[in-house]
Structures are given as structure tokens and as C-alpha cells.
Amino acid sequence: MNSSMVIGQYVPGDSPVHHMDPRAKITIIFFFVIVVFFANSVASYGALALFALLSVGVTKIPPRFIAKGLKPVWFLIIFTFILHLVVTKEGNVLFSVLGFDVYSGALIQGVAISLRFFLLILITSLLTLTTTPIAITDAIESILHPLKRIKFPVHELALMMSISLRFIPTLMQETEKISKAQASRGVDFRTGPIKERLKAIVPLLVPLFVSAFKRAEELAMAMEARGYQGGEGRTKLRELALRKIDYMVLVLFTFVIIAVFLTRA
């Protein structure tokens, strides 16, 4: 069940990307996502693609594994590509398939948009592949810290995030466990008419909700029992600190951005 769940799955490792400060990673990805939309020439796309592929290479996560995890997204990428081929009518007619004229502009735009999409997903999945959820939440809390001035509940938000992230695997395990128990009682989740299959979800969802609420209550009680107070004055087990590698990568990425803007058509 979780073999194709790469998005959001941390793969432990010892690469420079793993060791980077999560704030640096988030910052880079934030700007990467923006800059991807400015790329419009072969060279500018090339610079971004090079940066993304280099990052993937450094992590030493088997590409086969990443590709497998992106499987659900491939469909979307290919779908966008085909949509562009069919809908866009710019440039000259290159050839026609099944009565559809395929224009050169359509081909270029299709490739560009699909590539953009691919790069976006690749780089963002790299964040969750190389960073533990806890580190990501810590980073977000740190980045949002200035908002505290305007009474924005930064710590509470971060806490909510880390709790939800923490319980995703638990809930997935729970789902698997309950669906196995119900399958043993003769529920068929996989075959049969849609209506029957929808009905089969009820015996799965009810126990799942019951246990999720129970878990939430127990957690709240445990936190209160230990005198949990919220963010004021709490220290961290892992202090975030920018190190040499972070500055180096940030500088490198700045060059990539400059390169993109210089080579824009």
C-alpha cells in the first residue's frame, strides 16, 4: 500500500542535502517554484533542470525509487501535455493525428509546461524525501516567527502541523489494519459494482473516526497532564543553525536564478 507513497515519505540518508538546514531548503524551494514560471527559453529551463537533477543526484536516493513514487503524477503531466497539443493553435501545422492538427507552438508549449510541472514536483518531493516532518515544522515555525508580532499563533500552528504529520503514518497503519479485519469478515474493497464498493467504505471509516477521536482525546489529556503550556519560553531539542553548506547552496542557487533571468527569451 505505501510502496507508491513517496510524496511525504522521508528516506534516511547522509548526503549534504539531508544535512542542510530545513529553512534553507524551504527558501530555495519557495524561490524555485516562483522562478520556474519565469523560465521561457531552453537555456533557462536547462539551468533549473540542471540544478534540480544535481540535487537529486547528491541525495543518493535511487532515481528508480523517486520515479516510482512520482507515478501518480506522471498521468497529470502527460495529460497536460496532450491537452496542450490539442488545444493550442499557434505556429505552423507540423502534422495531424486523427484529424487533429498539431501546431509547432503547441508542441513547444506542451513540452515547456510539462517540464515546468515535472521540475516543480521533483524539487518539492525532494524536500520531504530528505527532511524529517519534524524538521520541516521547526523550519516553518522559525520562518513564520516574525508574524508573532501581529499576534499570529505561530507556535500553535506549528504544533498542529507536527501533530497531524505525526499521525499520518499512524492513521495509515490503522486504515490498513481495519481494512484487513473487515476483509477477513468478507468485505470486498476491490471488486464489484461502484455502489457496493462505496458501501464497503463505511465499515472502514466508522472505526477509523472512532479511533482518531479517541487518540486525539488521549493526546490532549496526556499533554495537559504534563503541564503543556504552549510556545512561551520553550527551548528546542534541535536548534536550527545555518552552516557553510547552506550558504554555499544558497549562493549557488542565486547564480541559477541570475542565469535564468539572463537567458530569458
Partner 1 sequence: MDITFDNVSYIYQPNSPFEHRALENLSFQIPSGSFVAVIGHTGSGKSTLIQHLNGLLAPTHGSVTIGDVMLQAGSKPKNLKALRKQVGVVFQYPEHQLFEETIEKDISFGPLNFGVQEEEIKQRVQETIEAVGLSSDMLERSPFDLSGGQMRRVAIAGVLAMNPRVLVLDEPTAGLDPKGQREIMDMFYKLHHEKNLTTVHVTHSMEDALAYADYVIVMHNGHMYMQGKPLEVFKEKEALNKVGLDVPEIIELTTKMNKRFGLSLEYKKQSVEELAAEAAHKLKGGSV
* CA pair distance 112, 37, nearest whole angstrom: 10
Min dist CB 143 to partner 1, Å, is 29
x/- site string to partner 1, residues 148 to 177, per CB under 8 A? --------------------------x--x
Query: Which is nearer to partner 1, 148 or 177 (by Cβ)?
Result: 177
Of 130, 135, 137, 124, nearest to 18 by C-alpha is: 130
The answer to whether 79 and 16 have CB atoms below 8 angstroms apart is no
Does position 3 interact with partner 1 (CB under 8 A)? The reply is yes
Q: Is 57 in the site for partner 1 (CB under 8 A)?
A: no
The nearest distance, CB 210 to partner 1, in angstroms, is 7
Q: Is 46 in the site for partner 1 (CB under 8 A)?
A: no
Q: Give the distance from CA 264 to its chain's centroid.
A: 27
Report residue 54 as a C-alpha cell.
544535481
Identify which range of 82-90, 110-118, 207-215, 216-224 contacts partner 1 by CB under 8 A. 207-215
User: Any contact of residue 67 with partner 1 (CB under 8 A)?
Assistant: no
Q: Kindly state the smallest distance separating residue 8's Cβ from partner 1, in Å.
A: 14
Q: Give the up-direction half-sphere exposure of residue 263: CA atoms within 13 A in the CB hemisphere.
A: 18
Kindly determine how many residues on this chain lie close enough to bind partner 1 according to the rule CB under 8 A.
Answer: 26
**Residues in Cβ contact with 114 at an 8 Å cutoff, skipping those fewer than 6 apart:** 77, 78, 80, 81, 84
Least distance from C-beta 100 to partner 1, angstroms? Answer: 38
Q: Which residue in the set 210, 219, 252, 262 belongs to the binding site for partner 1 (CB under 8 A)?
A: 210
Give the nearer residue to partner 1 in terms of CB position, either 165 or 212.
212
Task: Return the closest-CA partner of residue 64 out of 106, 108, 21, 3.
Answer: 3
Using CB under 8 A, which of 180, 195, 234, 244 touches partner 1? Answer: 180
What's the closest the beta carbon of residue 112 comes to partner 1, in angstroms? 32
203 binds partner 1 (CB under 8 A): yes
Binding residue for partner 1, selected from 90, 156, 188, 224, defined by CB under 8 A: 188
State the cell numbers at 79: 495529460
Distance, in Å, from the CA atom of 257 to the CA atom of 260, rounded to the nearest integer, reads: 5
Cα 77 to Cα 46, 55, 210: the distances in Å are 18, 21, 38
Residue 95 makes CB contacts below 8 A (sequence gap 6+) with 102
Amino acid at 91: G
Applying CB under 8 A, which part among 37-45, 108-116, 130-138, 183-191 lies near partner 1?
A: 183-191
Binding site for partner 1 (CB under 8 A): 2-3, 11, 61-62, 64-65, 68, 174, 177-178, 180-188, 202-203, 206-207, 210-211
